[in-house]
Structure 1
Amino acid sequence: MCLRPTPPPPVPADTAHVARSAFPRGNLLLGLRDGLGPVFHDRRFGRLFPTKGQPAEAPWRLALVTLLQFAEGLSDRRAADAVRSRVDWKYLLGLPLADAGFDSTVLSEFRSRLVAGGAEELLLGAVLDVAAAHRLLRAGGRQRTDSTHVLAAVRAMNRAECAHETLRHALEVLALAAPEWLLERALPHWGTAYGPRAFDDRLPKSAAKRTAWVRTVGEDGHHLLAAVSAAGTPDWLARLPAAGMLRRVWIQQFYLSDGEVRWRTKEEGIPPAARFISSPCDPDAHYARKSSRSWIGYKAHLTETCDDGLPRIVTCVQTTAGPTADGDVTTPTHRALRGKGLLPAQHIVDTGYLDAGLLVETRRDFGVDLVGPPRPDPRWRAEAGKGFAMEGFAIHWDTRRAVCPMGVRSSGWTPSVDTRGTAVVKVKFSARDCRACIHRADCAGPKAKQRLMTLRTRDEYAALQTARQRQRTPDFRGLYGLRAGVEATISQAVRGFGLRRSRYFGRAKTHLQHVATAAAMNPSRLVCWIAGDPLAPTRRSNLGRLIHAQGAA
């Protein structure tokens, strides 16, 4: 299909008349078209379509329909039916009443073009441009970020179930792709063993029987991999995605020892969660754990504005693997905001999104003030509160010396690199000076002969100390209190738009879902703001209102 860009047409008179009659008090979609216009234009999607071929359905309409179906949780077929049957949709899309719409498969094809072209951000970018044109969005203000877990579109499986399902999937694919080849190499028990799905409650209960069952699965998978890789086997069989997935899972789950296939344990080495395949259906979905919550899937990170006198607009969406630390998203978020021309002056985050290095990098590379509570000093000296924490030492960077609370100067200063590859400075005090000190046990430790310290680099150390001091001020508490508002946005995205459950396999398509969700949330917020609807206050229980009223009296 080719694209011949045309400007969005005005709303047909018959559509406008019926829509106004059906919704005399207005409607969100009518207000969206009247207040913000068509939002999208064909030229924005020009690079996704060839210049020759059959004309494609107008991309600006498909983009709007995509946002509407995510806003209302509709399937492709129901969304296509809504285009044909709902007058408010026709009003927004500028369609005449008799327009028959399009086939539902067009929506899937449009999403595939977005993912293949890495153009998911076009959906959100167009809404942000409209907000900026109406002077409801600007750079240099305040923004805030938080994340939530996202469940992948796969069922959670333990290691044994995952191995069985991977082998079963490979056999299913080969049964269709090369049935005669598979029949010649299949073992007699494969039909009954790998026909039904594996569920933990159907597996052998005793440890001995389960071990034997797992060993059989491993041997069967190894037998199939050997057959696929054998001489004379067509090369295209080994290149099948199912065969590649089987090979990856078997490397992670099993190993060969003395010619036997054995089950991997911690002693033989199991890959970390960030690389471990939890399901053959979605290799991008990984096991993750945060506090008491565990899941298989992803994380969605939402960034929104929080300036006084302006609406709350989601400006950036990041989709990461579940085990990815929040701090690994801080810099990519700033890069994305800089690319959009929307870098804030202050970025309010929780502890997970900042550390000493990020405090320096954010200020140096982006000119952004990263606001949040830094991690406290975890060492036992800080918890003891006797004045011998690292903050109690005077650090003289120019002379490369540290002075302890008792006035003793350090004897060693050595730049180094820690186990994570971070540049640090190792400082030590003389054992002779420490032995003579009456506070040696509280400072160096009950059995230590001398005090040893590991400092971050000069800029990082200063940034961390400044952040900890700032955290104790009343101004910080008032500013950091704004961060809680992003949790309401995440709640809206989860409860109203299904953000926490992926509709698709793979991180790329899941990211498209998250971007489309954010792009669908913003127009409704903009329409309400233009209409003069105030931001809703935090809801209180009846008991809370009663006690608050009594206290005010």
Structure 2
Amino acid sequence: MWVRDHLDGLWSDEDFVAWYPRDGRPGLSPAQLATVSVLQFLLNLSDRQAAEAVRCRIDFKYALDLDLDDPGFHHSVLTDFRDRLAEDDRADRLLGLALERMKAAGLVRERGRQRTDSTNVLAAVRDLTRLELITEAIRATLEELAREDPSVLDALVDEQWAKRYGRPVRLVSQPSRPVGRLKDAGQDAFALLTLLRGRARGRHAEGLRQIFLQNFVPDSRGAVRPRSDDDGFPPGRLRIVPPTISRPAGDAGATNDGPAT
């Protein structure tokens, strides 16, 4: 709110003109999406939680200069926007631009030290979103198997699995061990998919397989680690988002082909 009062926002849509084709259809405001990305990092929110905050929280609407009845956007938009941020050194230049404007407005002390490395910001937000996604995918697959062939789960599911996946995932704003939990969930997904190898897979099990391949890398010994930038990610528009979350009404055009004009 302080930044909004003094600067009318950290960025304007004109700062993002080079990121989008000139003939793209008008989409969501990239300046607003960039601000949401910052708030995500500060509050430890997944993409889904951030999109929900935009729809429901007055402080988010104030920071983004939105009307109180603004419906917001679908959370999958943030994945595609993060892909654009990660290209070249766009995110670092963007943070540098915001820092210059905050200094000029007297919001940052002279001779102070500010971090402008965007890598940790993007990685933290992405890992939290991936943790929510893989946990929900495992839960949906377990429920599918419990309906269709519960005997398959006897060799794998125990009390700890029931605690981790017995209810829909809802991450708190300050989740403990998000990186370690992401690795553990990936290992659980690998064990579940190994159990299903050679069997006919249902819709949720096939979704889990694709989500696993998009977000984790197993080695020859069966150890699993989260996929990194060096391994590569599929484009945001091709990644799977949580299957239990539906797109809000009127949001069919939220693919953000071009900046708002």
Please state which band the TM-score falls in when normalised by the shorter chain.
0.3 to 0.5
Q: TM-score, normalising length from structure 1?
A: 0.24
**Structure whose CA Rg is larger:** 1
Q: TM-score, normalising length from structure 2?
A: 0.45
Greater RCO structure (CA 8 Å; 6+ sep): 2
Q: Which has the higher strand share?
A: 1
